[in-house]
Chain A
Amino acid sequence: MRYLPLTDADRREMLATIGAQSGGAKSVDELFRDVPQKARLGAKVAGLPDHLGELEVERAFQGFAAKNVSPATAPFFIGAGAYRHHVPATVDYMIQRGEFLTSYTPYQPEITQGTLQYLFEFQTQVTLLTGMEVANASMYDGSTGASEAVLMANRVTRRSKALLSGGLHPQYRRIIETTGHWQGFKAVSGKPDAEGLEDLIATVDKETSCVVVQNPSFFGHVRDFSTLAEACHAAGALLIVVVTEVVSLGLLKPPGEMGADIVVCEGQSIGNGLGFGGPYVGLFATRDKYMRQMPGRLVGETVDADGKRGFVLTLSTREQHIRREKATSNICTNAGLCALAFTVHLTLLGEAGFRRLAELNHAKASQLADRLAALPDVKLLNESFFNEFTVALPKPAAPVVEALATKRILAGVPVSRLLPGDNSVENLLLLAATETATEEGMGPLVAALKEVL
């Protein structure tokens, strides 16, 4: 077996060493003697195949891949919380270096400065993009990060009612509701806000721990939440702003300038491929005054015994391995390697590249929106958007998307997929266009849609 270095001769010698000791064993079976006899399998687990060579493994996965439609082979306009962007080859090369890929959480800082320094750079990049003061070393993803943000707001305010915007991604909302149900806080959700007209100010009261909004919203609308932030603060509540398309921060006023207290982003768009939904990387930023209430790992600057600058994991007294049942969160693993991909890609982009990438996304989406809006019976619901918008079709969107899929066009997400049973969204279709969109893709989409409607 190519991954197992021990030979039978090695195993015999090792057993001899073990057997010679008191309490030793003469066979490998004897090493398992603490396992109750009736639970010890004599043979390998039944009903499963034996090992395969590398060639056979690759073939099996090519078989899986052949049953899917790769976005690279079809006009593609799907977003809704995960976006198709071009990732430079350097990013994937860098994260596959074994020193990064096969290292663990940097518990021994003397020999993990590589990981610690890039996480410090990552934390800094996150504060710059969001306009916030402090950021952690990543969360599992944006969706779980949003739920952690609500828990943090509950700790800070000692309240337990979260107001969730109808513009929040439905799955994010569902995760917060699930957490609320089992962990004992109230999550009050607004109606789906397809038009982008929701006003939550009147609903904020003295029991509210936080209001969770998304910008651009799930339906694509771009809003200024400065007034909402003021209303939250006047009531002693926190404003949490969720960003599922982090590239938008290259063009839009950042949540930090709107008065947000916690900002959570899905960072997938920078450096990380679509990967059928994960692993992604959650960005989590807040104000300095809430630093010690943050979940997750934090990297801080310090000096070593020779006075040289170095980095360490810090403020770990918030964390489960020290605080156990009093920890701010049960989180242990984060998304280290996805954070590296984010940092490498954003470093390649730099100020000029990141801004231009955002401009390109907005321009492509504008072109697509205009072309779709020109179709008879198609209504664009957005006055504002970044790279994603909602259109109302004259008939249910789900079968339309299926019909286009049979023509190998991946047209967008029918809103009903994420909000099943809500008749008001049945005809709505959410489409995104990034820098990867081309005329060769938009043309066939518009033509096919015209045909199907």
Chain B
Amino acid sequence: MDRSQGRTGGIVTGGASASATFTGNRALQIEEPLIFEMGQAGRTGVDLPEPPKVEDRLNGLRRGGEIGLPGLSEPQVVQHFTRLSQKNYAIDMGVYPLGSCTMKHNPRVNEKVARLAGIGDLHPLQPVSTVQGALELIDRLAHWLKTLTGMPAVAMSPAAGAHGEMCGMMAIAAALEAKGERATRRTVLAPESAHGTNPATAAALGFTVKPIPANDKGRVDLDALKAALGPDVAAIMLTNPNTCGLFESEIIEISTAVHAAGAYFYCDGANFNAIVGRVRPGDLGVDCMHINLHKTFSTPHGGGGPGAGPVVLSQALAPYAPYPWIVKSGDVWTVAEDGATVDGQPLGRLKAFHGQMGMFTRALAYIMSHGADGLKQVAEDAVLSANYVMAALKDTMTPAFDGPCMHEALFDDSFLKDTGVSTLDFAKAMIDEGYHPMTMYFPLVVHGAMLIEPTESQAKEDLDQFIAALKSLAERAKSGTAAEAFKAAPLYSPRRRLDETLAARKPVLRWRPSNNPPGSDPMKQAAE
């Protein structure tokens, strides 16, 4: 597929904008004010009946004055948010190679089933006799998650990956407490390449985080790990495949050593999509692992949430799973809520109600659509695509480690050395080529890191075009004459580079009438 639409693809130097239009708009790109700058008193987008007259029972606390909400009609609201939507890049538009985030296709039937009457409209506290199908649905997903990971139990309620981490690490703390070792085992080991959530979670629970070094192959240094293990260690937190896109080849030696030292193995399951259907984490000695349903099982990322982060648990940690537990007695499903007697000692509760049901529904639809055969193919295609990108770019860009990689290809910035072009500049130039950039500067262990995750969702011809675009950019950067053009990129996006320093130095986090004095036209200002 030709994505250039006939453009020659050259970057305009100097950063000059195209000549101004009267409105400041550029064809399909419409400059859009804030809703607070559009509203008129007396306009509304809903028609509600006149409320019946009743006597206030508000304890004298009726709200006075204006709230300050703008009034817009329905067509204005539709136009406003449609125009905003057109300023976003999305998976629906093309390659979205954001490493570690797993931007795969979001099937629409998943949206449809999540909205069915009798699923999408259920109240979480309806009598359990009226929600038997919903409880069965959650249990069905739980069964898939347990079987795919080879783990005996799962806690379904965490709302996101980081929340799942919190749940898993609390379960480890609970197991230590039960053994009387909570006061002595205060250290959590985590590689320097770990997601930031790992040390943040461990520290929140009062653990001291001790980094473990990587070897020159981008994997945990087993000897250094063994040296760090001792009676003070509570757990290791390890992502596998790791954040460099590599499988920890000594994983079984690692888990054996961790267990021998009396510690637990927390696996960050953010990259489970690389191995789903082909490898069961339970076979690797994992004690608990969160699963980002919004990554591996394709619930939509929605501009940064909602997600869901169920945690699978080993036999040792299963008794500590938080409330609620969904259990079947005879033919009837019940919810064991706070205080209920269950076969364990629940660590407490992490979230109101029963977890992210809307995400469960979508994830189960994705899983059933693929089946055991399709999920294996998902992992294979994701890994194949990443290795293909890596192989094709190997001589133009600089892979951080020798292959093969798993589901993402990691490059460092040594191919940009002495060009005056940084990883950031390179990424911004990709925007002008019609792509969302890869993950930049993560993992921290690789200089100027560029982490590319194509996922299984891209056709080969689209990957080929993407590879060709990156090659072209890399060669242009290396020509040594294009640094200024790279620094000016992007030129064609709805906004050019934004001043993040200004935003942080003088934070403006809300609209106020005084932001724009009466009579001023913010859009006109913007266009000037």
Contacts and interface: CB of A to CB of B under 8 A. Distances in A.
Interface stretch (A17-25, A200-208, A440-448): A17-25
B77 interface: yes
B90 to A, nearest CB: 4
B13 interface: no
A155 B401 CA distance: 41
Interface string A123-167: 111011100011101101111100000010000000000000000
Nearest to B487: A305
B283 A23 contact: no
A273 B120 contact: yes
B504 A61 contact: no
A30 B200 CA distance: 36
A332 B120 CA distance: 26
A291 B46 CA distance: 34
B199 A324 contact: yes
A68 B61 CA distance: 39
Nearest to B346: A178
B58 interface: yes
Nearest to A33: B404
B357 interface: yes
A51 interface: yes
B516 to A, nearest CB: 10
Given A6-B460, A104-B98, 19 more contacts: A4-B456, A6-B381, A31-B383, A45-B147, A68-B130, A68-B132, A99-B85, A99-B89, A105-B301, A124-B36, A128-B69, A301-B503, A321-B197, A324-B196, A348-B72, A349-B44, A360-B49, A369-B57, A385-B57
A104 B34 contact: no
Contacts of B160: 140, 331-333
Given A103-B303, A224-B59, A337-B302, A276 B69 contact: no
14 contacts: A31-B404, A34-B249, A35-B247, A70-B117, A108-B427, A111-B494, A118-B84, A278-B351, A304-B499, A314-B504, A315-B507, A324-B196, A348-B46, A350-B70
B382 to A, nearest CB: 10
A279 B305 CA distance: 9
B199 A113 contact: no
Contact of A109 (B106, B129, B495): B495
Contact of B205 (A11, A13, A183): A183
A117 B528 contact: no
Interface residues of B, number: 216
Given A38-B283, A113-B84, A128-B67, A144 B350 contact: yes
Contacts of B174: 182
Contacts of B458: 5
B510 A68 contact: no
A205 B527 CA distance: 55
Contacts, number: 728
Interface residues of A, number: 221
B514 interface: no
B185 interface: no
A171 B129 contact: no
Contact of A279 (B48, B356, B388): B356
A367 B251 CA distance: 64
Given A6-B459, A325-B200, A144 B163 contact: yes
A101 B196 contact: no
B528 A307 contact: yes
Given A88-B46, A335-B306, A312 B503 contact: yes
Contacts of A427: none
Interface string A78-92: 101110100010101
B125 interface: yes
B374 A50 contact: yes
Given A99-B90, A410-B126, A336 B305 contact: yes
Query: Which of B132, B196, B371 gathers the greatest number of chain A CB atoms within 10 Å?
Result: B196
Contacts of B31: 308
B404 to A, nearest CB: 5
Contacts of B248: 34
A350 to B, nearest CB: 4
Contact of B437 (A5, A108, A300): A108
Nearest to A50: B371
Given A108-B89, A277-B355, A325-B202, A171 B349 contact: yes
B45 A347 contact: yes
B119 A65 contact: yes
A13 B509 contact: no
A171 B323 CA distance: 10
A425 to B, nearest CB: 13
Contact of A51 (B52, B107, B370): B370
B127 interface: yes
B522 interface: yes
A63 to B, nearest CB: 7
Interface stretch (B223-231, B272-280, B412-420, B472-480): B272-280
Contacts of A273: 115, 120-121
Interface in B469-528: 488, 490, 493-500, 502-504, 507-511, 515, 522, 525-528
Given A57-B113, A110-B494, A39 B119 contact: no
Interface string A174-207: 1101100111100000000000000000000000
A218 B361 CA distance: 29
Interface in A9-68: 10-11, 13-15, 17-18, 20-21, 23-25, 28, 30-36, 38-41, 44-52, 54, 56-58, 60-68
A140 B511 contact: no
Contacts of B52: 363-364, 367
A11 B126 contact: no
Contacts of A57: 109, 113, 365, 368-369
Contacts of A120: 34, 509-511
Contacts of A95: 302
A222 B123 CA distance: 24
A309 interface: yes
Contacts of A336: 301-306
B305 A337 contact: yes
B452 interface: no
Interface in A381-424: 382-386, 401-402, 405-406, 410, 413, 417-418, 420-421
A58 B90 contact: no
Interface stretch (B2-10, B257-265, B334-342): B334-342
A289 B254 CA distance: 46
Given A90-B74, A112-B87, A253-B63, A1 B162 contact: no
Contact of B391 (A21, A141, A308, A384): A21
Contacts of A56: 368
Contacts of A14: 384-385, 387-388, 460
B77 A348 contact: yes
B78 A310 contact: no
A35 B275 CA distance: 9
Given A45-B280, A417-B125, A333 B306 contact: yes
Contacts of B27: none
A146 B464 CA distance: 48
B361 A94 contact: no
Contacts of A304: 495-499
